[in-house]
Structure 1
């Protein structure tokens, strides 16, 4: 059975919106501005994570965003990302942008449950915060990994939204990446 892992970059106050500034939000561009000195170490962590994964799960907008940035790249990390199976949740798109992708339509919860049953290993969820909120609400997430950037943005879309109940987590790993980034990993404690 697959293990669904949400992995994303975040400001200290949980904002995940417009990290590269290309979406045009007034607070965008925080990734490079507040992580610049640590991005070589960040790349090492992200590459290792990807090399250990079996698949990616993305929302439609994240599929478009990552496809535009990764399809032309090469190297160990890019080669793995471009070749691994990708599953795109979308109610509007029938044709995914990124290579080796399959569109999941219909009942998101049911489709992701089937996906977890069919893949043995880690399924990473990059960005896709609206999808992540649905997955968390329906107890489909097994682990949450955050790379926290040293900035409080005060506004913008956040990874976590409202839930119908509390979601218990257990800290499984924490480390400093470079001199300013913090990596934390939490296992989701599923009720028995």
Structure 2
């Protein structure tokens, strides 16, 4: 069974965007870009919250040389799943709405053969995935910056979960990739 993991940039004080919604504070050097290329080659699909999906769908189809050829290709070809009960359509290439029962839809996707799925963007989506009991791993790219406000990575209610640190990676920028498996039994809440 494949896993669903969260991979997201977060500030040291727990924010994923500035108060204005910007993400240009993250440390995106060549080493990080190579990491993203490798990550995109290792997965069979991506999950996004509605807001993040809409923002990315407006950008990626016309992305140019500011991103790698691997990123352009994989962001186009990989299946994209939208974790939203309000979205009516998903027109970006190979995109699919998860529908009214996202826990069941994600469970079905995880039971299919293949490589893991990545939840890349959206604090609400990350919180929902934990609440629904479908998230298996957290890969937090902790950036050496304090934002002092913005969108928190986890906000709202979700069940208590124990985490087990399974890997760390230090980037030359000072960013740390911390990988945690969710280990405690979780009962989905709806």
TM-score by length of structure 2 reads 0.86
Cα drift, residue 190 of structure 1: 3.7
Cα drift, residue 180 of structure 1: 2.0
Contact 1:60–1:96 (Cα < 8 Å) also in 2: no
Distance 2:158 2:57 in 1: 33
Match of 1:72 in 2: 62
Cα drift, residue 160 of structure 1: 1.6
1:9 maps to 2:9? yes
Cα drift, residue 134 of structure 1: 1.4
Contact 2:163–2:182 (Cα < 8 Å) also in 1: yes
Match of 1:47 in 2: 37
Q: CA RMSD in A?
A: 2.0
Evaluate the alpha carbon distance shift between residue 164 and residue 60 of structure 1 in structure 2; reply closer, same or farther with a 3 A threshold.
Answer: closer
Cα drift, residue 162 of structure 1: 4.4
Match of 1:186 in 2: 180
Evaluate the alpha carbon distance shift between residue 97 and residue 10 of structure 1 in structure 2; reply closer, same or farther with a 3 A threshold.
Answer: farther
- Partner of 1:115, secondary structure, is helix
From 137, 144, 164, the equivalent of 1:143 is 137
Evaluate the alpha carbon distance shift between residue 190 and residue 140 of structure 1 in structure 2; reply closer, same or farther with a 3 A threshold.
Answer: farther
Question: Which deviates more, 53-62 or 116-125?
Answer: 116-125
Cα drift, residue 119 of structure 1: 4.6
Question: Which deviates more, 156-165 or 146-155?
Answer: 156-165
Q: Deviations over 1:108-132 (max 9, x none)?
A: 2222212212353210001121121
Contact 1:139–1:190 (Cα < 8 Å) also in 2: no
Q: Gapped runs of 5+ residues in structure 1?
A: 19-24
- Partner of 2:44, secondary structure, is strand
Aligned length: 182
From 163, 168, 171, the equivalent of 1:174 is 168
